[in-house]
Structure 1
Amino acid sequence: MKKWWLLLLLVIATGCAAGEAAGPAEIDPSVDSCALCHMGIQQVEAASQVIMDDGTPEKFDDIGCMLTYMKENETNQAFVQDYHTQKWVDFEEAYIVHEPRMETPMNYGFIAFQKKVDAEEFVAVNGGEVYEGMEVMNAELQRGNMQH
């Protein structure tokens, strides 16, 4: 009888865990490519990703590619790389800098920071505009000159 209760508790716990949001997936530059532009993800520090409702990650080589994708698709969660630490940051909690002259993989000119002070310091030196999380969805998504 105790085994059945234990099994029941295990099934319930597994079901509850299945509903939790997944964390960011690791980027493998030798395999991964951008879900939007299909370019290989070579600059991991510029990568971003969304997690779909079924837990599948969609990876991007540039935050601008991710933003374009998010405007057209329902997503569960999104992550960006902190420009200084290269650690994953929840997109909604990140501070996104947009400086169109900045070179990013697809030349959208977006970089992310976990801390607002880091974003503001970057802008003070390099120019640009700071957005808090989802505010950046209102930014103009225009690619700069590509030189591939």
Structure 2
Amino acid sequence: MSICALSIQGEEMKLDMRSALRGGVVAASAAVLIATNAVSAGAQPGVRNIRYGDSGNGVHCVQMALNLWGRAHDGWTGRISEDAPFGEETRGALLNFQRQNNLSADAVVGPRTGNILYYNYLKPAGYAWCYYQVPTA
């Protein structure tokens, strides 16, 4: 049986070759898992910012998230229509949300606004499918 010697902070530790190889496989597996999670946590390619005048599933997700946020915070009694066009009602609610969350109040759902809407409200409420509709970083 082969023996490998490793020096860890001045102390010598001996391992047989099989243990060293097994450790290498574990380290490589961990690196792959970390890389995979880093990719999935990043911004989704092809998901664009959502803004006034847009319509579709992304806008619907934003409207649902704003209503979830509104119900979770005292003092905000408004409810916006979840009808998918991004109009004045959605714009006003989004500006309010951005101000309350110390975000740039520009009425655009980009990755910073999308992160809070998705991870704090949509995903916990069971709307994981919105991940592919709302920009996140």
- Under a length normalisation based on structure 2, what TM-score does the superposition of the two structures give? 0.30
More helix by share: 2
Of the two structures, which has the highest relative contact order with CA contacts closer than 8 Å and spacing of 6 or more?
2
Q: Over alpha carbons, which structure has the higher Rg?
A: 2
- Looking at secondary structure, tell me which structure has more strand per residue: 1
